Chains A and B, each alone.
Chain A
Amino acid sequence: MGVLYDKLATDVRFIESLKACINCGTCTAICPAAEFYVYDPRTVAITVQTQDDAKIIELLKSETIWYCGECMSCKTRCPRGNVPGLLVIALRALSQDLGYFTESEKGRQQLALKRAIGEKILSHGYCINPDTIAPGNHPEQGPIWEWEMEHIEEVMEKLGANYKGEGPGALRKIPQEDLDEIHKIFEVTGGMDRFRDLEKFSKAKAEEMGVEFGEGANNEYFRMIYTTNNQTHTRE
């Protein structure tokens, strides 16, 4: 039994996700990610089940664990009650704790997710906010979103939201005392440690790659991880 396997075994999501995989492939058959990506949840389960540290390290450094969409469709169908999607969540947590996520193109994206979504929880109290969905970065949102953004205050008023307002309602301003509580929860429970690790390991990787690193989205490393797709990930 390996050290990494033991570490994984302390994660309740791991305990819930993998009993004894019989390699039947039902999860792969139902998995939307397996249909699109070069991805096979069955192999993930089998690999972890070997309890072989070398193989687990390889997995933690791979593109593989980042393909899952966490839809949990696999949970309903596995005849053994395993949940490859939950196993992937545990593996991703470990990959980030150990800094292995920077070894893959898809893994490196974690820094962008931390900055674009994670930090918004601390600053706005919600994961996403209209200010962060710039039409220029989201052409798929169409002309309707562009129009809505131009008239955001009027549109939100018409739809009954309380945009940036005091009191309850959609898109209200979250009071500072509540943001302070959320911040403290992140400090006490390891959320801030995760954020700091993501920054630290990413910065080291950027230096190793010789790519300019900085805060926010306006730097070479962020642009690289947000947009790079080396086209080797999909089935077609």
Chain B
Amino acid sequence: MKADGKKLIWKEYQKEIADDHYFYARSCIRQNFFPGSEKAFTRIMKDELGKDLCDNQHHTSCTGIGYHTDVVPFETTMTVIARQFSLMTEAGYSNYIASCITSFGLYTEIIETWKHFPETLEKTRDFLYKATGREFTVPNNLAHASDIIYKFRNEIAAKAKYRLVDKNTGSPLKVVEHIGCHYSKMFPHKGVGGAEYPYVLTGMIESWGGEVVDYPERRHCCGFGFRQYAIQANRGFSIACSRKKFDSMEPYEPDMIITNCPGCPMFLDRWQYALSEMEGRTYGKDKQGIPVFTYEEVAGMLLGYDPWQLGLQVHQVPAEPLLDKIGIEYDPEAKFKGPNGEDMGKPAAPSYLKFYQE
């Protein structure tokens, strides 16, 4: 009954998402920690879905982390973002994809600000022209990369080699989804499903055969908090937020976590390690932790892409137990090998978290 009610509410939020010809903007956090995910995104778009995606060399950071650590003024951020739009305009595109939730939230906020305070748009145009001689058009359609994967989730499911299903029992895997605060808490109508029942990841999970875990702290922040992680003295805040989520989800015995943000997959992965070192506390079965993935990693995994090209080897919580549960084929020996099979040694084992599978 409850689930039916929620499904009805989700239906009320139908976000419009363009279906081809996109300009793609990368994310600083994601390219540092999950470059394989951005690669998987472009590969899925081009090879699986046959879409036209402009991967432009000249764009930069949106300044998002600088803005949310309060060292970059709003006028500066608006103008840097206007420059990104100018590159899009110049390349002949009008549908913009941000690979980053913080960016997506910021673009949304800025476009709304320009609407409510037209003088800020004029001022931004003047600033950009003065600084660079550039002009720009505001995108017709703004999407987060996960919106696009969501839109084509059924096409991806149709091409997939695997499903989010336990190969031995046939039952759906239990999946925790983490949406990330800046996706739709600020502008609920700009995200698929709104703020209370965001459907963007849930839609993928259902379409790919898994079952979503509804746990009490589902909407709690991962704890990035910008300055709260970036400064060593503040990191207690960050780890406390993630811990609250782990403690709350653990009784539901999730098989995996799928995330939407740039930061959350890194924090939810690394804080499990940090908590294990600090307190000997591990989550998940047999001290293996709860593996954490980006949505592109999951899509790529199900499409049969090599896990070591997706970047699953750079997770601190090992992905193998999940790969085995689904029955995904991989070469365990290749995990820490270089691009041409060269030996690069192996990372040290953590003290408590079970990292190497016997």
Contact status B71-A143, CB under 8 Å: no
- Residue in B83, B221, B310 whose beta carbon sits within 8 Å of that of A185 in the complex: B83
Inter-chain residue pair count (beta carbon < 8 A) = 270
- Residue in B188, B220, B233, B336 whose beta carbon sits within 8 Å of that of A229 in the complex: B233
Give the A-binding residues of B (Cβ under 8 A): 26, 28-32, 35-36, 38-39, 55-61, 63-66, 68-76, 78-80, 83, 105, 113, 116-117, 120, 127-128, 130-132, 134, 181-182, 185-186, 188, 195-196, 219-221, 223-228, 230-237, 239-241, 244, 270-271, 273-274, 308-311, 314-316, 336, 338-339, 342, 344-350
Q: Which of A47-55, A163-171, A204-212 faces chain B? A: A163-171
Contact status B39-A160, CB under 8 Å: yes
Within 8 A of B (CB), among A70-118: 70-73, 75-76, 83, 89, 92-93, 96, 106, 109-110, 112-114, 116-118
Q: What string of 1s and 0s marks CB contacts (under 8 Å) between A4-25 and chain B?
A: 0000000111011000000000
Q: A12-B113, A158-B339, A189-B75 are in contact. Are A142 and B350 (CB under 8 A)?
A: yes
Q: A89-B70, A142-B350, A157-B339 are in contact. Are A76 and B195 (CB under 8 A)?
A: yes
Cα-based distance from A113 to B225 in the complex (angstroms): 13
Contact status A127-B65, CB under 8 Å: yes
- Report chain A residues within 8 Å CB of B219: 73
- Interface majority SS on A: helix, strand, loop or mixed? helix
Contact status B68-A70, CB under 8 Å: yes
Within 8 A of B (CB), among A122-138: 125-130, 133, 137
Contact status B230-A117, CB under 8 Å: yes
Contact status A73-B73, CB under 8 Å: no
Shortest Cβ distance from B29 into A: residue: A128
Contact status A185-B70, CB under 8 Å: no
- Report chain B residues within 8 Å CB of A213: none
Q: A121-B61, A129-B32 are in contact. Are A154 and B66 (CB under 8 A)?
A: no
- Residue in A126, A150, A158, A190 whose beta carbon sits within 8 Å of that of B61 in the complex: A126
Give the B-binding residues of A (Cβ under 8 A): 11-13, 15-16, 32-33, 35-37, 66, 68-73, 75-76, 83, 89, 92-93, 96, 106, 109-110, 112-114, 116-118, 121, 125-130, 133, 137, 139-148, 150-151, 154-161, 166-172, 174-175, 177-179, 181-182, 184-191, 194-195, 198, 225-229, 234
Contact status A117-B55, CB under 8 Å: no
Shortest CB distance A112–B (Å)? 6
Cα-based distance from A214 to B140 in the complex (angstroms): 47
Contact status B233-A158, CB under 8 Å: no
23 contacts between A and B (CB under 8 A): A13-B74, A36-B237, A69-B237, A71-B185, A73-B185, A93-B70, A96-B70, A113-B230, A114-B71, A125-B60, A127-B28, A129-B28, A142-B274, A143-B347, A147-B336, A151-B338, A154-B338, A160-B309, A171-B35, A178-B59, A188-B127, A190-B76, A229-B234
Most chain A beta-carbon contacts within 10 A, residue among B61, B64, B348:
B61
Contact status B76-A113, CB under 8 Å: no
Contact status A36-B65, CB under 8 Å: no
Shortest Cβ distance from B225 into A: residue: A69
- Residue in A142, A157, A185 whose beta carbon sits within 8 Å of that of B316 in the complex: A142
Contact status B346-A126, CB under 8 Å: no
